[in-house]
Amino acid sequence: MAWLYLLLAGLFEIGFAISIKLMDGHKNLPWTVVFYVCVILSFGFLQEAAKSLPIGTAYAIWTGIGGVGVAIIGMAFLGDPINPWRIAFLLMLVTALVGLKLTAGEH
């Protein structure tokens, strides 16, 4: 269950990170609401995951899911640059996240 909580935390982190760009300094109310809802849910799920996963692993995977997700959404929808180096480094990050998951163990 902890890994599911961590996945949800990471997905909500993507939501709050993307909404930072779209809420326009709190001027766009719907995106401001999305930001705060996603922040609360992301940290809540991270807290639940950290109860049974090593905190270093949980935090690294949480930020990794967010970083990879935001980078992909930024490139696909928000005009962020796309080049082979960015793709290669994102693939390396995903590889590192999988490695952390495989070596974490639960206590």
pLDDT of residue 95 exceeding 60:
yes
Collapsing DSSP to helix, strand or coil, 52 comes out as coil
User: What is the separation of C-alpha 36 from the centre of its chain, rounded to a whole number of angstroms?
Assistant: 15
Whole-angstrom CA distances from 59 to 10, 92, 98 are 10, 18, 14
Alpha-carbon span 8 to 62, nearest angstrom: 9
Whole-number pLDDT of residue 100: 86
pLDDT digit string, tens, across residues 80-91: 999 999 999 999
User: Does residue 107 have a pLDDT over 60?
Assistant: no
Q: Residue 106's pLDDT is what?
A: 54
pLDDT at 104: 79
Model-wide pTM > 0.85: yes
pLDDT in tens, 17-73: 999 999 999 999 999 999 999 999 999 999 999 999 999 999 999 999 999 999 999
What's the DSSP call for residue 91? H
Instruction: For the chain, give every domain's residue range.
Output: 2-104
Lowest-pLDDT range of 40-44, 48-52, 94-98, 101-105: 101-105
DSSP string, 54-70: -HHHHHHHHHHHHHHHH
**What are the helix (H) ranges across the chain?**
2-22, 29-50, 55-77, 84-104
